[in-house]
Amino acid sequence: MIKKSHGIGQEYKGNIYSYRFGKNLTIEDGVRIFHPENIIIGDNVYIGHDTILYGYHDSVLFIGDDVWIGPQCYFHSAGNITIESQVGIGPSVKILTSYHDYNKYPIQLNPLIFKKVMIGYGSDIGMGSVILPGVNIGKGSQIGAGSVVTKDVISHSVVTGNPAKYIKGVK
């Protein structure tokens, strides 16, 4: 059985200003944006090549001011994503906000569970990290490259690994 496609997204090279996108926005080639009507982007934001911003039909993907998003990232905002200002996100970072419940087999027939992800002001997410549904990353935190973040991260801390574990606090 062939299911209906979610579409190819829109590759933005032209007029993006009909949406809630701020000033001085740089969107590199190959960026795909799904449901741009549910995406809010602040001022002075950079979005690297081949990134996918998957806005969802009934949720919001919010990106604050002065955010840098590296190439080949994937943000799926079914459960809402908030990225506060002054955040750096390395290449190939994945942010997920939904998963299937595990009540029956096959798993994909179970309902989706939606949980918001929040990345606090001034944080930095290292290359290749994965942020799982429901995670809150406190302000000024560093996520080490390649980490899988399964739990909340307190403000001003460094976490790394799979699963990510607290290493130290930062000032």
- Note the pLDDT tens digit of each residue in 31-76: 999 888 899 999 999 999 999 999 888 899 999 999 999 999 999 9
Q: Which residues pair with 11 in a beta bridge?
A: 32
- Note the pLDDT tens digit of each residue in 90-143: 999 999 999 998 888 888 889 999 999 999 999 999 999 999 999 999 999 999
Residue 3 lies in a domain: no
Residue 152 lies in a domain: yes
Residue 99: what residue type? Y
What are the catalytic residues? 100
The percent helix, strand, coil of the chain (3-state, each to 5) is 5, 35, 60
Q: How many structural domains compose the chain?
A: 1
- Distance, CA of 105 to chain centre: 29
Residue 85 lies in a domain: yes
- Nearest CA to 92 among 72, 111, 110? 72
